Amino acid sequence: MALEGSFVSDQNSSYPALGFRFNVTFNWVGVAQSYPFQSVANIKKGNNVEKINNGGDNTRQYSLPSYNTYEELKLVRGLMKRDWILRTWLENFGLSLGKVRTAQVVVELRDIDKNNNIIKVEDWTFYNCYPTSFEIGELNAQNYPGEVLLETVTLAYSRFERGSVIGPNNYYPTIL
């Protein structure tokens, strides 16, 4: 049972979401598989701005939005002895029979409800993902015996969408 005042997901809660409980799922054609990752970083969207001078008036300049830019998604996890399908896709940079095989990657932020059930709080769906870099951490004989060997993967994608389970997905106020 959840303690009173603890960080528990509730639609009326004023606490921020905690970022340590998440799930990463790779969706290929007809196949969806979740993999454990230690961290997910660079969920970032920007907008390039085009500056336009006001026709003969040198005192004014307008900034107009042009197109969106996205950071490459960075995933870090312990090197797994299995998961050969994902590892093959990552190490071949998505290439299969001369074509880039993209995936849809879904990152789900999870929390617990009042009854200690795991629930989805938000999710981010990344479209047309393919690996751009793959790195294995340092092998060092002086590491602590329980230290995990990490692999870092960077994925490029065309766009992402954010889904919210708890609140409305439309952040614009309704004008009546």
Q: Is residue 120 part of a domain?
A: yes
Rg, C-alpha atoms of the chain: 21
Q: Is residue 117 part of a domain?
A: yes
Neighbours of 106 (CB within 10 A): 19
Q: What is the pLDDT of residue 41?
A: 95
Name the pLDDT band for 11 (thresholds 50, 70, 90): low
How do beta strands 103-112 and 22-28 pair? antiparallel
Task: Note if the pTM is more than 0.95.
Answer: no
Q: Which domain holds residue 80?
A: 22-164
CA 15 to chain centre: 22
pLDDT above 80 for 46: yes
Q: Is residue 5 part of a domain?
A: no
CB 152 within 8 A of CB 76: yes
pLDDT above 50 for 12: yes
Q: Is residue 1 part of a domain?
A: no
Q: Is residue 173 part of a domain?
A: no
Q: What is the pLDDT of residue 153?
A: 93
Mean pLDDT, range 117-129, rounded to an integer: 91
Q: What DSSP string describes 4-22?
A: TTS----TT--SPPPSS-E
Tell me the per-residue pLDDT of 55-99, one tens digit each, with 9 for 90 and over.
Answer: 777 788 888 999 889 999 999 999 888 877 888 888 888 887 788
pLDDT above 50 for 115: yes
Q: Is residue 126 part of a domain?
A: yes
Q: What is the pLDDT of residue 167?
A: 52
Retrieve residue 68's tokens: 């969106």
Q: Is residue 90 part of a domain?
A: yes
**CA dist., res. 25 & res. 151, Å (int):** 17
CATH (domain of 67) = 2.30.110
Q: Is residue 172 part of a domain?
A: no
Domain count, the chain: 1
Mean pLDDT, range 26-35, rounded to an integer: 84
Name the pLDDT band for 160 (thresholds 50, 70, 90): very high
**CA dist., res. 152 & res. 37, Å (int):** 10
pLDDT above 70 for 165: no
